[in-house]
Structures are given as C-alpha cells and as structure tokens.
Structure 1
Amino acid sequence: MSTIERLHEIGRPLVAEQLAHPTVAGIARGDLDERAFRYWLEQDHLYLLDYARAFSRLAWQAPDDHLADLVGIAHSTLNEELELHRSLSGEFGADLTTKEKGPACAAYTAWLLEAAADYRDGLAAVYPCMWGYNTLGLELAKSRPADPRYARWVDTYADPEFTRLTEHYGRRLEEAEPDPERAERFFLEGMRHEVAFWDTPYTS
C-alpha cells in the first residue's frame, strides 16, 4: 500500500465524522443557519491566508520539480478559492476584514505554519485540507443542496479540476518519500483540525 493510499484509508473515518457534523449536514440539506455559515466564511478566510503562507514556506524548500506546483497552489488559494469566499460574503453578510481567529482557526493555523518548517512533514500536514474538502465536495454533490449558495460551495470542491489538483498534489507528496509514520501522524492531526474547524458558536 502506498503512502497516499494509507493516508486515505486512515482519513476516511474522519471524513465520515465531518459529514455527520451539524454544520456540514446543514450545508448538505441547504438549511444551515446563515449565522453559522457566516462565521465559517470569516474563519476560513483567515485560515486560507495562512494556508497560502504554508504552501509558500514549502515552496521555499521544494526541489525544482515541485516548486511550480506549490507556488501554483498558493496562487490558486489566494485568487480562486478565496474568490468563492468573497462572492459568498455579501450574500451572508460576512466580514472578511476581521482579524479575530476563533480557537479552532488559531490552533489549526499555528500548527500548520509550524509543520511547514519541515518539507516532508509540511506536505503531509497541508494535504488533509485539499483531500478532505475534495472528498466532502464529491460526496455532497451526489444530492446538491437546494439553496444555490450552498450548492455553489459544494460545486467548487467537487469540481473535476479541483479533483485533478488534489490527485496531482498527492503524487507529489508520494514522490517526496516522507517517513510513513510521520506522514500518518501529521496527516491525522490535520484531519482532526479539519473536524474541529466545523464547530461554530451556533447550533443547527
């Protein structure tokens, strides 16, 4: 079993946990409290800024044949994924100028940026966000939410181009030949942060 196959195997239960989370279930139904999604948008905007920084830190350490991919993902995060947040912010009344990270966002970003100080550890640490959201998007796309705003969110992460990008990144992670045990540890910790990130101050 390859490293990526092993990460997917141990990550699937945590994807299932996310699918059962009230926030994700509300998105799937299309009836999530708008206050909850507004909070998520604001927090994820702050997270993605640091996610791009993590990729930039990895790019600085990357071998020549990985450099363009890592810079490209940082660019895509800032100019494509965040565009989704900007387009949805007005519809949900989100304040994307906020600098106030909630506990889950602060813990995740601090850990992620520290992990990115080591190339192989960092590659494993950033993978849960890409793979997890792509897997969630593909699952939620099987029955798109009735609310077109939530459907647009699902479509972004189920998009074939995002799937191709995730698969390509997985091959790059494999090529880096991380220590399997360390890769599993950093991947699992990232997946646990992903689960915690769905918590909001509102109940569904």
Structure 2
Amino acid sequence: MVAEQLAHPTVAGIARGDLDDRAFRYWLEQDHLYLLDYARAFSRLAWQAPDGHLADLVGIAHSTLTEELALHRSLSGEFGADLTTREKGPACAAYTAWIVEAAADYRDGLAAVYPCMWGYNRLGIALAADRPDEPRYRRWVDTYADPGFTALTERYGRMLEEAGPDPERAERFFREGMRHELAFWDTPFTG
C-alpha cells in the first residue's frame, strides 16, 4: 500500500519536485483540517489509555498541533494556502469522521491512527533516498524521514502491540486507514 502511495501522481510529483503548486496547496489545506481531527483522535485515545501510554498519546497530540502544523503554516505561505477558511473535501471528511469514530475504542483507534504516522514515515524514508531538489518539497520529505519521527512511529507501534488488539480486527482497521491515506492524495489538480 505504500508502493501505491509512492506511485500516486501527487506523491510522485513531490518526489520529482515538480508537483503543481495548486495540488500541494489543496493537499496542505486538507491536511491542516485532517491534523486537527487527528489530534482529537489522539486525545480521545489518551482519555482511555493505560497509564503507560497516556504521556505518549498526549505528547503526540501536542506534537501534531505544534510541530507538524508549524510545518504546514510555514509551507502555506510559500504555496498560497489558506489554512483558515477551507472546508473538508470528500476524502478528508470521510477520513476524519472514520478516524475520530474509531478512536472511541482504544484498540481499534490505535490501529486506525497508525497508518498515517507509519505511512508518512515510510514515504519520507523512501523519498529521502533521492530527495527532491525543490526546497519546499525537500523540507516536507525531511520532516517525515527524520530519525525523531521514526522513533516516535516505532514507539507508537509498540503501544499498539502492548494494547493487545485482536490481530485480524487491527489489520482491518489498519488497511482501512491505508485506503483513506491513498484517497487523501487525490486532488482536483492531479490524475
């Protein structure tokens, strides 16, 4: 499923550094809205978390709202993105509704939110092997390939394992999340 994302026209354009600015602008605006609900999902999970996971989940929610959204704000000016008045497109609305609802159950929610973190880390690492020359896209790639983000992703994976979800159910939630991730790359400006 990561290979499908790497082949997607939006991700391929980021990798080459020649993605139409309108496509990345749309993605930034949608991802900004997504990340607000992503933080809500982590907060919902934190409410249910065992003591050993609480600080990590609150930390991820905080990091999403501060560090990850700071990247979006810095890139928004460079792409002319409007992070204040956009409405969710169909893919964003479907994904955020699903992820916040899935977070009502601790184990299901952990499996549902993992594809975003894990997938972006895998994309960042894959794209970092041949970083785009375009500095705006290179900054995006570097964020998700960063060793600190990799460590956070690995810690989250351990929390998911520690929660002991039913493996088949967790895989269903993970795969559904990955399907949402792939659909999220669609913009009106790419094929």
Q: Give the TM-score normalised by the residue count of structure 1.
A: 0.93
Residue 100 of structure 1 and its aligned partner are, at CA, apart by 0.4
Q: What residue in structure 2 maps to residue 121 of structure 1?
A: 108
User: Are 1:194 and 2:189 matched, yes or no?
Assistant: no
Q: What residue in structure 1 maps to residue 123 of structure 2?
A: 136
- Aligned residue among 32, 41, 51 for 1:64: 51
Question: 2:190, 2:181 → 1: CA distance?
Answer: 18
After superposition, what is the alpha-carbon deviation per residue over 1:2-28, rounded to whole angstroms, capped at 9, x for unaligned? xxxxxxxxxxxx100000000000000
Question: 2:126, 2:34 → 1: CA distance?
Answer: 23
Tell me, which stretches of 5 or more residues in structure 1 are unaligned? 1-13
Residue 135 of structure 1 and its aligned partner are, at CA, apart by 0.2
Q: What residue in structure 2 maps to residue 3 of structure 1?
A: none
After superposition, what is the alpha-carbon deviation per residue over 1:163-198, rounded to whole angstroms, capped at 9, x for unaligned? 000001100110000000110000000000000000
Question: 2:52, 2:185 → 1: CA distance?
Answer: 35
Question: 1:151, 1:197 → 2: CA distance?
Answer: 20
- Trace 1:107-186 onto structure 2 (pairs within 5 A): 107-186=94-173
Question: 1:173, 1:47 → 2: CA distance?
Answer: 21
Q: What residue in structure 2 maps to residue 24 of structure 1?
A: 11
Residue 203 of structure 1 and its aligned partner are, at CA, apart by 2.5
After superposition, what is the alpha-carbon deviation per residue over 1:117-167, rounded to whole angstroms, capped at 9, x for unaligned? 000000000000000000000000000001000000000000000000000
One-letter amino acid of the counterpart of residue 13, structure 2: G
Alpha-carbon RMSD across the aligned residues, in angstroms, is 0.7
Question: 2:29, 2:43 → 1: CA distance?
Answer: 22
Q: What residue in structure 2 maps to residue 86 of structure 1?
A: 73
After superposition, what is the alpha-carbon deviation per residue over 1:88-137, rounded to whole angstroms, capped at 9, x for unaligned? 00000000002400000000000000000000000000000000000000
One-letter amino acid of the counterpart of residue 201, structure 1: P
Residue 71 of structure 1 and its aligned partner are, at CA, apart by 0.2
Q: What residue in structure 2 maps to residue 5 of structure 1?
A: none
Q: Give the TM-score normalised by the residue count of structure 2.
A: 0.99
The SS at the match of 1:199 is coil
Q: What residue in structure 2 maps to residue 73 of structure 1?
A: 60
Q: What residue in structure 1 maps to residue 24 of structure 2?
A: 37
Question: 1:203, 1:117 → 2: CA distance?
Answer: 34
Question: 2:42, 2:190 → 1: CA distance?
Answer: 33
Is contact 1:42-1:98 (8 Å) kept? Answer: no
After superposition, what is the alpha-carbon deviation per residue over 1:42-72, rounded to whole angstroms, capped at 9, x for unaligned? 0000000000000000000001111000000
Moved over 3 A (4+): none
One-letter amino acid of the counterpart of residue 62, structure 2: H
Is contact 1:48-1:78 (8 Å) kept? Answer: yes
Q: What residue in structure 2 maps to residue 6 of structure 1?
A: none
Question: 1:81, 1:170 → 2: CA distance?
Answer: 19
